[in-house]
């Protein structure tokens, strides 16, 4: 057996190890990925200590780049929620939409809120408003649950600063601003198209009120009453938006500065503001201003502490993803995969299909979109330098696959299902269907973008990617 075939077998086994440990033994994904790293490195003859070094270096490299920004982002989202700012944004956006577009209103509100806030929290905040919309449009709960799922999962999937889209530029070596721009553009298109398609599917008597609704649950009635409670001392809409707008503007400043002046000559101010650490620090500070004013110093401490509990898990998984990536990169398996699988890297569609498929398999198998996205991006990063398209499209395909089929092994599935008062089949027809339609739309947009506008390094300088391509050719 030649070395290339052996490497591919080892990669398959390492993926199987991750899935087995997570699914069967219920071991934390970060530990599962490190165990897989050890197997992959040692079996691929990197040596015991060589493998340990790659694991440590990969984790350290990912954390040095992602640790603080993820922490700041989680704090930002928690304080925005606890201060009442998220609710203000939600209610205001819903009011601004015409009554006939109520489903689009809840979807885009979910999209905006999920830029800084995790899906679970976004759903909890918005579901009382969603129930009111359900009464307004005189449709089953399925319509609102699906629309909300589409909006929230789309933003969480492809718009920084949530962990996966925040990590994508580091993994593939391109500007964070590009990920933000493409995430917003793809996201707006995806939400619009997905809600339309989802509605059309449910208009064809797809929903069964008897089987798909949990008639013994009182949660919808309770949440409806909760939604009627008027809370005092809440921030204005503009003030509430500041923690979201500030980091976006900062990141775009850096991207525009690079585009105009080049990487080496851009002003120090655009470099400083455009750095993700600075951008998310300023966003977190903006959320603290909300907190001081509307929940007080004592509650701020509790809120930030609660946020950091969640951040710890995310950081470990992200760092472990960096370790897995470092080990895979050290084996040079990207080139081998291309040769052995006979992949035509001149075909953007082939590469993007592979990226989507890897993310899809991981999502279906173990449930976590974070693990699915990180793992697929890590594997595909080794192929990216050989492909004649911008890596943002590969990242989008990976993330779309990682968001594709959320079902009973995904935490978001149960949040959406239980809070909407649905049965398991009802959850599959809402959360699962909505996220799948969204994923397919993102994937199709990535293909279209790769075919129409494959490279744009002359417009946006991407030195890291350029260096990777050069080293690969050598």
Domain segments of the chain as ranges: 3-67+89-230+313-473
Residue 213, beta-bridge partner list: 422
Q: Which two tokens stand for residue 349?
A: 């569609």
Whole-Å CA distances, 121 to 56, 117, 203, 325: 33, 7, 29, 30
Q: Which residues of 314-340 are buried (b: 16+ CB within 10 A; e: fewer)?
A: bbbbbbbbbbbbbbbbbbebbebbbee
User: How is residue 213 annotated by DSSP?
Assistant: B
- Output the pLDDT for position 458: 41
User: How is residue 229 annotated by DSSP?
Assistant: P
Question: Are residues 165 and 174 in contact, defined by beta-carbon separation less than 8 angstroms?
Answer: no
Greatest alpha-carbon span in the chain: 71
- Output the pLDDT for position 95: 85
- Output the pLDDT for position 472: 38
d(CA 161, CA 289) in angstroms, rounded, equals 19
d(CA 279, CA 161) in angstroms, rounded, equals 10
- Output the pLDDT for position 10: 87
Per-residue pLDDT of the chain (474 residues; tens, 9 = 90+): 677 788 888 888 988 898 888 878 888 888 998 999 999 999 988 899 999 999 999 899 888 888 888 888 888 888 888 888 888 888 888 888 887 888 999 999 999 988 888 888 888 888 888 888 888 888 888 999 999 999 999 999 999 988 899 999 999 988 899 999 999 999 999 999 999 999 999 998 888 888 888 877 777 777 666 555 556 678 888 889 899 899 999 999 988 888 888 777 888 998 899 898 999 999 999 999 888 888 887 788 888 888 877 778 888 888 888 898 888 888 877 667 767 666 666 688 988 999 999 899 888 877 788 888 888 898 888 888 878 889 999 999 999 999 998 888 788 888 899 888 899 999 999 999 999 999 999 999 999 999 998 876 544 444 444 344 333 333
- Output the pLDDT for position 459: 43
Cis bond before residue 161 (omega within 30° of 0): yes
Residues 39/43/49/52 CA torsion (nearest 10 deg): -30
Q: For residue 6, how many C-alpha atoms fall within 13 Å in the half-sphere facing its CB?
A: 10
Q: Backbone dihedral region of 262: left (phi > 0), alpha (psi from -120 to 50 degrees) or beta?
A: left
- Output the pLDDT for position 9: 87
d(CA 5, CA 18) in angstroms, rounded, equals 20
Q: Which residue has the tokens 């947009």?
A: 445
Phi, psi of 213 (to 5 degrees): -110, 135
- Which of 229, 230, 243, 227 has its CA nearest to residue 80? 243
Residues 449/455/459/460 CA torsion (nearest 10 deg): 90
pTM attached to this predicted model: 0.83
Q: What separation, in Å, do the N-terminal and C-terminal C-alpha atoms of the chain show?
A: 27
**Beta-carbon contacts of residue 29 (< 8 Å; ≥ 6 apart):** 18, 22, 317, 320, 366, 368, 370, 371
**H or E stretch including 15?**
helix 3-23
- Output the pLDDT for position 285: 93
């Amino acid at each position: 057996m030649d070395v290339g075939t052996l490497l591919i077998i080892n990669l398959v086994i390492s993926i199987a190890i991750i899935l087995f440990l997570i699914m069967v033994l219920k071991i934390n994904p970060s530990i599962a990925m490190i165990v897989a790293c050890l197997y992959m490195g040692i079996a691929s003859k990197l040596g015991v200590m060589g493998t340990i070094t790659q694991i440590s270096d990969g984790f350290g490299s990912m954390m040095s780049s992602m640790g603080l920004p993820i922490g700041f982002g989680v704090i930002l989202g928690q304080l925005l929620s606890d201060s009442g700012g998220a609710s203000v944004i939600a209610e205001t956006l819903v009011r601004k939409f015409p009554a006939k577009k109520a489903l689009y209103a809840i979807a885009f509100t979910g999209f905006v809120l999920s830029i800084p806030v995790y899906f679970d929290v976004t759903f909890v905040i918005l579901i009382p408003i969603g129930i009111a919309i359900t009464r307004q449009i005189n449709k089953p709960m399925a319509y609102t649950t699906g629309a909300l799922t589409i909006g929230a999962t789309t933003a969480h999937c492809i718009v920084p600063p949530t962990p996966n889209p925040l990590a994508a530029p580091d993994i593939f070596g391109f500007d964070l601003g590009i990920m933000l721009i493409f995430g917003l553009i793809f996201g707006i298109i995806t939400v619009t198209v997905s809600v339309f398609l989802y509605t059309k599917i449910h208009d064809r008597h797809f929903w069964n009120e008897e089987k798909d609704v949990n008639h013994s649950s009182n949660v919808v009635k309770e949440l409806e009453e909760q939604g009627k409670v008027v809370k005092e001392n809440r921030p204005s809409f503009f003030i509430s938006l500041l923690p979201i707008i500030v980091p976006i503007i900062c990141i775009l400043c850096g991207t525009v500065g690079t585009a105009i002046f080049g990487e080496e000559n851009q002003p120090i101010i655009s470099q400083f503001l455009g750095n993700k650490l600075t951008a998310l620090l300023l966003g977190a500070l903006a959320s603290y201003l909300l907190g001081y004013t509307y929940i007080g110093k004592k509650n701020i401490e509790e809120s930030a502490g609660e946020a950091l509990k969640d951040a710890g898990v995310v950081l470990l998984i992200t760092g472990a993803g960096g370790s897995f990536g470092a080990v895979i990169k050290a084996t040079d398996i990207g080139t081998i995969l291309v040769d052995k699988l006979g992949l035509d890297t001149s075909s953007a569609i082939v590469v993007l299909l592979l990226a989507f498929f890897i993310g899809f398999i991981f999502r279906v198998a173990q449930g976590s979109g974070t693990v699915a996205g990180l793992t697929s991006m890590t594997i595909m990063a080794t192929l990216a330098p050989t492909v004649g398209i911008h890596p943002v499209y590969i990242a989008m395909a990976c993330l779309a696959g990682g968001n594709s089929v959320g079902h009973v092994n995904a935490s978001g599935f149960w949040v959406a299902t239980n809070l909407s008062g649905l049965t398991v089949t009802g959850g599959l027809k809402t959360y699962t269907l909505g996220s799948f339609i969204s994923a397919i739309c993102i994937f199709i947009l990535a293909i279209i973008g790769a075919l129409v506008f494959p490279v744009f390094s002359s417009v946006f300088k991407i030195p890291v990617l350029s260096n990777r391509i050069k080293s690969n050719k050598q």
